[in-house]
Amino acid sequence: MKLYRNLVLVALILTFGVVSLGAYVRLSDAGLGCPDWPGCYGKITPLHAADAINAELAERPEGPVSHAKAWKEMVHRYFAGTLGLLVLAISVLAWRWRRETAGGLGLATGLLGLIVFQALLGMWTVTLLLKPLVVSGHLLGGMATLSLLLWLWLRERGHSSHAYFARVDHLRGAVVVGLVLVAAQIALGGWVSTNYAALACTDFPMCQGTWVPAMDFEHSFTLRRELGETAAGDLLPLTALTAIHWVHRVMALIVTLYLGWLAFRLLRTPGYVCFGLVVGGLLVLQVGLGISNVLFSLPLALAVAHNAGAALLLASMVWLNHRVHRR
């Protein structure tokens, strides 16, 4: 069982890296660095595909393909593929040691199914040319994988002491709401990123010099459409991008107020002070990164850090929910 727990922990750490690396690929416009899947122009590495990449560069020098972007995309695929093999091994071990695991086979089996679906989303991300719904789904799938692996690891590691894990029933509903709000905000943030709406508002706290700018909600949250287009195939207007960005900001305010209140409650609850400090600290970090991305025009390092911070905040809420709801 030690091997099983260690594999889950390694997969959990690797998932955080894959999520962060995926954000780096997306934000550096390398999502189509290799326009096929799972290889790069049918080759196992961009080095083997150098002739095809050079031919594409000669034809379209300003296109989405370059040697650097191809390597970024393929490194992400290598890490994701390794994660898939780890999850497969976890699932096999869970079945083999099903009488010794803490919670049965459902979670490990579900993780394997999720990984397979994630691989399909990764393929469709490329073949469907970065369709926002598919790219956003791929992001959420990565966050879901991180959350489920964390829950599995927490379940299998057991409890160190009865006192430390004492129940706090009055926090149950509050921490569930906190988790739902964080997940919803991550989904909105993914929609901002996949629609390239992060700089639709370049000032803060106002947007385009006003509190409520002109916005087009009709086209902003239409799910079935191409990147940069409306469902009818017209160019997506700036007002639609503004609406996406503005809703994300409003939701950020709601999440900040709620998690700030929750962190305060945790700080006043015996045994939960560390959780209060972690949630409060990550919240402050995320708000600061979000504002900085606007004020400094979305520098790559800050944008990737904002994605990684979202994953850590989600993980903290998953851990908190496990702590409060454990049996």
**Mean pLDDT over all residues of the chain?**
94
DSSP letter string, 37-73: SSSBTTBSSTTTTHHHHHHHHHH-TTSS--HHHHHHH
- Tell me which of 158, 189, 218 is where a domain ends: 158
pLDDT of residue 159: 57
192 and 303 in a single domain? The answer is: yes
| Neighbour tally for 192: CB within 10 Å | 21
Q: Are residues 101 and 219 in the same domain?
A: no
Q: Do residues 60 and 27 make contact, with C-beta atoms less than 8 angstroms apart?
A: no
Report the C-alpha gap between 215 and 8 in whole angstroms. Answer: 45
Residue 218: active-site member: no
Per-position DSSP letters for 175-233, written without gaps between them: HHHHHHHHHHHHHHHHHHHHTT-TTS--SSSSBTTBSS----HHHHT--SS-TTB-TTS
For residues 41 and 123, state if they share a domain.
Answer: yes
pTM to 2 decimal places: 0.95
- State how far Cα 167 lies from the chain centre: 30
In sequence order, the 6+-apart residues with CB closer than 8 A to the CB of 116 are none
- What pLDDT was estimated at residue 162? 46
Residues 70 and 209 in one domain: no
Same domain, 240 and 264: yes
Average pLDDT, stretch 242-270?
97
Catalytic residue among 56, 73, 156, 226: 73
Q: Which of 97, 123, 158 is the last residue of a domain?
A: 158
pLDDT score of 204? 97
Q: Output the CA angle 135-137-141, nearest 5 degrees.
A: 120
Cβ–Cβ < 8 Å for 77, 126: no
Instruction: Tell whether 186 and 272 lie within a shared domain.
Output: yes
One-letter amino acid of 103: G
Domain containing 30: what range?
Answer: 1-158
Q: In sequence order, what are the residues at sequence separation of 6 or more whose Cβ sits closer than 8 angstroms to the Cβ of residue 164?
A: 271
3-class DSSP assignment, residue 79: helix
User: Is 50 exceeded by the pLDDT of residue 220?
Assistant: yes
Q: Are residues 207 and 244 in the same domain?
A: yes
Among candidate residues 133, 158, 183, the one where a domain is terminated: 158
Q: Are residues 177 and 325 in the same domain?
A: yes
In this structure, are 57 and 194 located in the same domain? no
Q: How many CA atoms lie within 13 A of 167 on its CB side?
A: 7
Q: Which secondary-structure segment (H or E) carries 243?
A: helix 238-267
Please write the tens of the pLDDT for every residue from 267-310: 999 999 999 999 999 999 999 999 999 999 999 999 999 999 99
* Contact present, 6 and 54 (Cβ < 8 Å): no
Taking only the tens place, the pLDDT of each residue in 143-187 is: 999 999 999 999 998 754 444 545 688 899 999 999 999 999 999
Total number of domains in the chain: 2
DSSP, res 268: T
Same structural domain for residues 315 and 277?
A: yes
Work out the average pLDDT over 66-79.
98
**Is residue 279 classed as helix, strand or coil in its secondary structure?**
helix
Q: How far apart are CA 139 and CA 190, in angstroms?
A: 7
Q: Are residues 212 and 190 in the same domain?
A: yes
3-class SS of residue 207: strand
* 175 shares its domain with 94: no
Token pair of 100, please? 């010794």
Give the whole-angstrom CA distance, residue 270 versus residue 298. Answer: 40
